[in-house]
């Protein structure tokens, strides 16, 4: 894919409306990157922009919390106060609310890390130069969802034993009577197969769609910048700004939803089955 013309950014071409070239619509190719190092077609070892952003993002998150929490003060400074507010939001607003204070305390670091990691990965979308949400590549949500999956499934086995865990997964309930086998099958499938998949895809698809929308309007405002198209281009540019603000909101919401679901799964694993 090295010579792929779709790898060229719209801005790098001089393609405009009425110039006789088609609209360079964003698509799946917008989420593929030329490796910065290595070759994707070769031995599979490569390093591309999303990877760089992922590592950079984790360093930024750690750096932020390091600056805020490494030498904490009893009377917090501004940075520490902001970080504490974020920490407290996840701790109280998500973990304590779903799992409860006593059992939830153990999972606070996991939830806090997840939230700020995902948020940072999402935020790359609207940070200039980077301008790409790392989470719009399925690999990143998938590995996080997998970690969550391993956590709550192993927790279910540890807490309830094999039979208890099986009952937990299948939502075993004698009062269902004859539909019990059907209900159990559906529940089992829903919990163990669909759940991790939707957990990852929810985040991925939101960021994917958001980034596509942003791309669409950005490319359109460039493409239509010719003759009468300038008026449309202006509208499109306003939409870029509106969508950027909207994305800013969605990024936080998706990080929140991902962590909230994580905590709900853990809570479900801890809950005694009736």
Partner 1 sequence: MTSALVFLAAEGEKENPLIPPWPEVVIGLIAFVIVFGFLAKKLLPTINKVLEERREAIEGGIEKAEAAQTEAQSVLEQYKAQLAEARHEAARLRQEAQEQGATLIAEMRAEGQRQREEIVAAGHTQIEADRKAASSALRQDVGKLATVLAGKLVGESLEDHARQSRVIDRFLDELEEKAEASR
Residues interacting with partner 1, by CB under 8 A? Answer: 1, 27-29, 31-32, 40, 44-48, 50-51, 54-55, 57-59, 61-62, 65-66, 68-70, 72-74, 83-84, 87, 108-110, 112-114, 116-117, 134, 137-140, 142-144, 147, 201, 204, 208
Cβ proximity to partner 1, 13 vs 113, nearer residue = 113
Cβ of residue 236: shortest distance to partner 1, in angstroms?
21
Cβ of residue 264: shortest distance to partner 1, in angstroms?
20
Neighbours of 82 (CB within 10 A): 13
Cβ proximity to partner 1, 65 vs 149, nearer residue = 65
Measuring CA to CA, how many Å separate 41 from each of 138, 199, 224?
Answer: 19, 30, 36
Measuring CA to CA, how many Å separate 8 from each of 32, 94, 210, 214?
Answer: 11, 42, 20, 17
Cβ proximity to partner 1, 144 vs 184, nearer residue = 144
Q: How far apart are CA 58 and CA 53, in angstroms?
A: 8
Torsion of CA 173, 176, 182, 187, to 10 degrees: -40
Cβ of residue 3: shortest distance to partner 1, in angstroms?
14
Do residues 130 and 53 touch, judged by C-beta distance below 8 A? Answer: yes
Cβ proximity to partner 1, 25 vs 271, nearer residue = 25
Cβ of residue 90: shortest distance to partner 1, in angstroms?
10
Cβ proximity to partner 1, 94 vs 165, nearer residue = 94
DSSP characters for 52-77?
HHHHHHHHHHHHHHHHHHSS--SS--
Q: How far apart are CA 54 and CA 42, in angstroms?
A: 23
Cβ of residue 175: shortest distance to partner 1, in angstroms?
38
Cβ proximity to partner 1, 48 vs 244, nearer residue = 48
Cβ proximity to partner 1, 13 vs 183, nearer residue = 13
Do residues 247 and 239 touch, judged by C-beta distance below 8 A? Answer: no
Cβ of residue 149: shortest distance to partner 1, in angstroms?
13
Angle made by CA atoms 98, 146, 255, in degrees to the nearest 5: 50
Cβ of residue 263: shortest distance to partner 1, in angstroms?
15
How is residue 209 written in tokens? 């769609």
Q: Is 16 left (phi over 0), alpha (psi -120 to 50) or beta?
A: beta
Q: Is 116 exposed, middle or buried (0-12, 13-18, 19+ CB in 10 A)?
A: buried
């Amino acid at each position: 894919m090295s010579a792929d013309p779709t790898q060229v950014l719209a801005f790098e071409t001089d393609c405009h409306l009425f110039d006789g070239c088609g609209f360079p619509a964003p698509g799946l190719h917008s989420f593929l990157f030329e490796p910065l190092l290595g070759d994707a077609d070769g031995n599979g070892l490569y390093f591309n922009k999303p990877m760089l952003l992922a590592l950079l993002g984790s360093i930024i998150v750690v750096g932020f919390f390091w600056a805020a929490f490494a030498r904490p003060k009893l009377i917090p400074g501004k940075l520490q106060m902001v970080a504490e507010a974020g920490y407290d939001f996840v701790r109280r607003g998500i973990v304590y609310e779903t799992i409860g204070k006593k059992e939830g305390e153990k999972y606070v670091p996991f939830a806090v890390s997840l939230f700020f990691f995902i948020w940072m990965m999402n935020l790359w979308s609207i940070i200039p130069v980077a301008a790409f949400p790392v989470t719009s590549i399925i690999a990143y949500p998938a590995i996080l969802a997998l970690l969550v999956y391993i956590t709550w499934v192993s927790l279910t086995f540890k807490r309830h034993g094999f039979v208890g865990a099986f009952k937990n997964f299948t939502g075993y309930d004698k009062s269902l009577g004859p539909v019990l086998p059907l209900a159990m099958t559906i529940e089992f499938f829903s919990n163990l197969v669909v759940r991790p998949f939707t957990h990852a895809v929810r985040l991925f698809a939101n960021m994917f769609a958001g980034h596509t929308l942003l791309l669409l309007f950005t490319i359109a405002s460039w493409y239509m910048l010719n003759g009468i198209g300038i008026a449309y281009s202006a509208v499109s540019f306003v939409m870029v700004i509106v969508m950027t603000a909207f994305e800013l909101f969605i990024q936080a919401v998706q990080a929140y939803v991902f962590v909230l679901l994580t905590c709900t799964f853990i809570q479900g694993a801890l809950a005694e089955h009736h």
